[in-house]
Amino acid sequence: MRTPMLLPRTEHLPARPAWDCLVCEHAWPCANAKADLTGQYLRFPAGLAIYMASVMYDAVEDLTATGEPTPADLYERFLAWVG
């Protein structure tokens, strides 16, 4: 049986283009979003890595749209915690 890919479900979503959490206003993904996403992708951790890499790409686009340099902490924010 094929495992379906999960769509992220959390109330702690990013507010674009700033990429802060809509609920707690911390840098997204906030601690709550990380916990929710980790739980959802528990059986498919590669899916979480793929999802977070794709949203990191979106964040780079948004955060550099006005000519600002790419923030140095994006890998730590979006991918370093995925395991």
Q: pLDDT tens digits for 2-27?
A: 555 555 577 899 999 999 999 999 99
19 falls within a domain: no
Q: Please check whether residue 12 is in contact with residue 21, taking contact to mean a CB–CB distance below 8 angstroms.
A: yes
Assigned domain for 12 exists:
no
Range of the domain at 53: 29-78
Report whether 28 contacts 15 (CB < 8 A).
yes
Number of domains comprising the chain: 1
Q: What is the pTM of this model?
A: 0.84
Q: Could you tell me the pLDDT band of residue 68, with boundaries at 50, 70 and 90?
A: very high
Assess if residue 22 is contained within a domain.
no
Distances (CA, A) of 6 to 41, 65, 79: 7, 29, 18
**Alpha helices (runs of H) in 17-79, residue ranges in sequence order:** 31-40, 45-63, 74-78
Residue 83 included in any domain: no
